[in-house]
Amino acid sequence: MPDPGMTVAESVPSMPAVPRPDREAPNVVVIVLDDTGFAQLGCFGSDIATPAIDALAGGGIRFNRFHVTSLCSPTRACLLTGRNHHAVGMGFLADLPMAFPGYSGRLPRSAAPLPRVLRDAGYNTIHVGKWHLVPRGERSAAGPFERWPLGYGFERSYGFLQGDTNQWTPNLVRDNHYVEPPARPEDGYHLSEDLADTAIRYVIDQQQAAPGKPFFMYIGLGAMHAPHHVAPSWVEPYEGRFDEGWDAWRADVFARQVAGGIVPEGSVLTERPAWVAAWDTLSADERRMHTRAMEVFAGFLTHTDAQIGRVVDALETLGLLDNTLVLLISDNGASAEGGELGTANEHRFTAQLGDTVESNLAALDGWGGFRSYNHYSWGWAWAGNTPLRLWKRYTWLGGTRTPLIVHWPQGVPVRGEIRGQLTHVIDLMPTVLDLCGIPVPDEVDGVPQQPMDGASLRAVLSSGDAPDPRTTQYFEMVGSRSIIHDGWKATTDHVSMGVLDEERLMLGSRDFATDSWSLFDLRRDFSEADDVAADHPETLRRLQERWLVEAGRNQVFPMDDGLLNRFVALIGPAWPPAQRSVFRPGGSPIHDESVPMLGVPFEITALVEVPAGAEGVLCALGDWNGGYALYVTGGRLGFTFSRGGDLLRCLGSIGLPEGRHRLGARCTRDGDTTLLWVHHDGVPVGSVAFNGVLPLALQHGGAGLRLGYDAGFPVSDDYCPPAPWTGVLHEVVIDATGGPDPAPIDLVRAAFHAD
């Protein structure tokens, strides 16, 4: 740098170095659908209307042998790092981090994420939607924030941190703080529409502030994960569409896939698993139940497609679409976590309340609406992955092979072609960097970077005859294992823990010692239909040995049947809530992870000043799908606990005394009976007895504890949010001292259903 002179006129300015991408570098938009199967998009054979996504496919390239990890957090880690999921500590869900290198839930500094690399190269970086890469214990208002979107290189962020959320009343984060939704569900609010609005607004703001500066935008939709929430008007076009059932629908989809070239001629439609009922064996009521669930799912998907269409249309209106690289994927195959019957409320699972045909039918008219947290059955999940085997969480192709669409008119002027090369989500980061003209960094912040496991797809995008970017790819998820090598695929029959109906009904091994491996020749067997293990024992042995090598290289070990034994290594929060915690009003909602879990016994008390005609909420966490609230209605103290929609309601028999008092609810157990009662200054004024247990892990999207009011949906119809407390609230004490710690399997099940 030259020395400055005495005056400006005598000096030579030294301008700061500002990174600038190449003038022709594209904008990049990555759209991640959730729990969307290989066969559920129109351009992959479905009859569900997805015109916006179909238009991207028609103007670009579809991949029919693209693979993911079969679960949410791991796939997103692969996408954003270009490395295998275990190699970057995301071998399972971020919700359950463990003190083993492959399962820490924390991306290492040696794998700088894509947004960080692009930002350093001069891109603006934007995150909208689902994140699910923050470990349990780091999602409260105290952070730490290193693993929130801004900590991983995004400059703007709006969405939700956890695996799922209520589409009507989501738990939202803007940048590094929690915010309330901008409108109420009664006013027409829906999360997918809000995310599309925000994505469009962020791009307009960015381009008006820095015209022509390229941007990277990551859109992680909550759809198509449960709950399948959508307005009835989107469902109506599908009424009666699925009356013939999943067997017939699957056969029709397969015929369209073959005719459209998505599935090669000569492929075999795999058989229905023995534990999935044949449609023609179901009763009329069962068919009505399952049909409605699929109608709502279809409406939800078409609504989601419309929001994607709005974003694409905005890019076109702004003159950006032609030079925008759009990548659209799903994080795993269709989800079977609704189990054998489906459910009107997924929270029932974590409350250990079984679903029945009768309970589902009773809720059928409201399926997908405000009071539901619905999920279809595994029959539709199986059909949604046509022609493949199984579903999400398994390393059969139904869990790991999902759609990939690439659209970039200026850079890849290919229209409507299909690529059949073996590709994986780890290929997306190196592809983006290559197409943007940005080298893979050797070092970031002084930390040497571990090698990329993925490879650029530039050659594959240019030519359908290009070689596969790899010949080997391993898979492991909750003990389910497989490997693709030199055109062969070996897959285990391991059944994982965590989903009750699978534990109860699925055929397969539940012990590594008894696992059986099948072998498939993917060069002629697109769908894993023909097990040739008996004919090629040496090939199978070679693949098993190769899997062990890949597993060792990528930090897969130690494994466990269903993860239960690993809970000795569960990484707890650095600052866990005290079993007896005191909360005072005046701040933001208190995140679930800062609130004690309510085992029995527990007590919640509020120190208040009671005025004449007192009304309102003293504290509330969750909503009528799962949660609890202490409140005053009609001058009487009430407490309601929602166990997956089953309301345990206790109302005081006398009015509140005026003045300063402690008002509370207490829960105790007497033998097999649990007693819930409310009190004034320790004096019982009402009680209710019940059998069964209370869920230790409340699955309600992380709505947080609110003091002196409620928001979103209520826990009880006794009040209507915000229902502010009309007196003075000094503090709320939650005392779970003496209650049991959550069993590991309860946490696993809760995590699976919130993924």
> Of 608, 656, 649, nearest to 632 (Cα)?
656
Concatenating the DSSP letter of every residue in 60-125 gives SEEESSEE--SSHHHHHHHHHHSS-TGGGT-SS-TTS-BSSGGGSS---TTS--HHHHHHHTT-EE
Residue carrying structure tokens 């901008």: 182
- Spell out the SS3 assignment of 300-333: HHHHHHHHHHHHHHHHHHCCCHHHEEEEEEECCC
Neighbour tally for 123: CB within 10 Å: 26
> Of 549, 553, 558, 434, nearest to 485 (Cα)?
549
Give CA–CA dist 367/99, Å, rounded.
40
SS3 at position 648: strand
Q: How far is CA 516 from the centre of its chain?
A: 30
Q: Cα-Cα-Cα-Cα dihedral of 633, 635, 641, 647, to 10°?
A: -60
Residue 132: active-site member? yes
Give CA–CA dist 106/129, Å, rounded.
20
Rg of the chain on CA atoms, in Å: 27
Give CA–CA dist 188/197, Å, rounded.
14
What's the DSSP call for residue 570?
B
SS3 at position 698: coil
Strands 488-492 and 417-419 come out as unpaired
Which member of 72, 78, 619, 667 is catalytic? 72
Q: Which residues of 618-656 are buried (b: 16+ CB within 10 A; e: fewer)?
A: bbbbbbbbbbbbbbbbeebbbbbbbbbbbebbbbbeebb
Which member of 67, 85, 132, 407 is catalytic? 132
Residue 375: active-site member? no
> Of 544, 593, 444, 477, nearest to 102 (Cα)?
477
What positions carry a catalytic annotation?
72, 132
